[in-house]
Amino acid sequence: MKIKNVNEIDITGKKVLIRCDLNVPIKNGIIQSDARILASLPTIELALRKKAKVIIMSHLGRPKNECYEKKYSLLPIFEYFKKKINYTKVYFSNDFSNILPIKTGELLILENVRFNSGELKNDEILSKKYSNLCDIFIMDAFGSAHRKQASTYGIGKFVNIACAGLLFMSEINNLKKALKNPKRPMVSIVGGAKVSTKFNILNKLCNISDTVVVGGGIANTFLAINYNIGKSLHEPTFISKAKTLINKYNNIIIPIDSRIGKNFSQNEPSIIKLPSKIQKNEEIMDFGDESIKKVVKIIEKAKTIIWNGPVGVFEFPNFRKGTETIAKAIANNTSFSIAGGGDTLSVIDMFSIKNKISYISTGGGAFLEFIEGKKLPAIHMLEKHFSH
């Protein structure tokens, strides 16, 4: 994989358009977590220091029909940047086709790209319009690298120079470190709701890891091979595929006991049960204590850890223990650990372990597809520019 990075290109005095991933949770106009913004800052500040004319664009949420919706506006992010980057002028434009010229060392933030007609369909006309905004395009939104959209992929066809930002390069380098000649034992923890969305990644991780721990709805689908698991979240149509994985690999760890409840609610009390004892009106919502102990022992010995997803309904206090204990065990292991995925980031925030994870990926789907070995469209686009 050969791609140019921003440090290899002279951007001084140039108009640079940076595609960031500023898709942060916003509630009533207030940013709930600025993790993705902070991850994007190094590239933006580098461009400002080098006296480029800096324009940034990003998506936020999933607005309907590519139309303006106030709750998905980047205005709160503009307000954030005004305070954070208070040493230069910061502007905002809700119309990318009619922007005011900015001076070197100044910053312009464009409104949500998903308000633009043709963004999601990778429309060529829109891609060309984006390219007309800049001399150099910097792709720094690793979290959107797996999407073939106008602002992440299509623009590459029309710009003269495209390169990767600092965050994008950091993501790739750290993922490669975890995947190529990892220190062993290598342990992967995969949680989340669906086996179907993570079947290929599980297959890949089972192949390269010494141990793969499954949690959440994924683990329930594995448990459903041999047990009646009541009304637990699982995928009946994927039980046979889960069975093929269990038969193919002997390194998959599934829970030996679970915390169950009768109602999916905040204050539901938890009871620990063996999978064989679960009733029709009960559902698995977390690991039991024996499962937790078993997994913690595995994590303590690990030299490389890949972590994607919580192992239970960590939002509910009574079903948090599994995710919390495992998260803290990963944090306390001083070997190389890499974590990614939206819910994983929420867990890291909740238990304040950010500084104890070696690398936190901003990518969800992109993180998984890269690990799976898929060629991400944005990387393909940047490779083409390298060979020009």
Question: Is 21 annotated to bind ligand?
Answer: yes
Q: If you average pLDDT over residues 295-313, what whole number do you get?
A: 96
For residue 5, the 8-state DSSP code is B
Domains of the chain by residue range: 6-168+376-385, 184-334
Tens digit of each residue's pLDDT (9 = 90 or more) over 204-263: 999 999 999 999 999 999 999 999 999 999 999 999 999 999 999 999 999 999 999 999
Cα dihedral 23, 24, 27, 30 sign = negative
Active-site residue flag, 259: no
Give the CA count within 13 Å in the CB-facing half-sphere of 144: 27
Cα distances (angstroms) measured from residue 30 to each of 26, 73, 78, 117: 5, 12, 12, 27
Q: What is the pTM of this model?
A: 0.86
38 labelled binding-site residue: no
Residue 164 has pLDDT above 70, yes or no: yes
Residue 197 assigned ligand-binding role = no
Whole-number percent of the chain with pLDDT over 70: 99
To the question of whether residue 140 is assigned a binding role by annotation, the answer is no
Q: Of 129, 262, 294, 342, which residue is the catalytic one?
A: 342
Q: Mean pLDDT over residues 264-279, rounded? A: 96
| Beta strand residue intervals within 195-334, DSSP E | 211-214, 252-253, 258-261, 271-273, 283-287, 304-308
59 among the known binding-site residues? yes
Among 114, 116, 176, 117, residue whose Cα is nearest residue 144: 114
The two tokens of residue 138 are 């910097």
The answer regarding whether domain 6-168+376-385 maps to CATH 3.40.50.1260 reads yes
Question: What architecture does CATH give domain 184-334?
Answer: 3-Layer(aba) Sandwich (3.40)
Of the pLDDT bands very low, low, confident and very high (cuts 50, 70, 90), residue 179 is confident
pLDDT at residue number 11:
97
- The residue assigned the tokens 């119309």 is 95
Query: Any binding-site annotation on 62?
Result: yes
**pLDDT for residue 388:** 67
Active-site residue, from 14, 15, 19, 36: 36
343 confidence band (pLDDT: 50, 70, 90):
confident
User: Catalytic annotation on 342?
Assistant: yes
Q: Which one from 82, 148, 194, 231 is the annotated catalytic residue?
A: 194
Give the number of other CB atoms < 10 A from CB of residue 228. Answer: 12
Q: Which of 105, 118, 356, 365 is flagged as catalytic?
A: 365
268 is in an annotated binding site: no
- Is there a binding annotation on residue 363? no
Q: Do domains 6-168+376-385 and 184-334 have the same CATH topology?
A: yes
Most confident of 20-34, 195-209, 263-277: 263-277
Whether 64 has a binding-site annotation, put simply, is no
Are the beta carbons of 388 and 361 closer than 8 angstroms?
A: no
Closest of 132, 131, 135, 136 to residue 157, by C-alpha? 131
Q: How confident is the model at residue 58 (pLDDT cuts 50, 70, 90)?
A: very high
- 241 assigned binding-site residue: no
Judge whether 194 counts as a catalytic residue.
yes
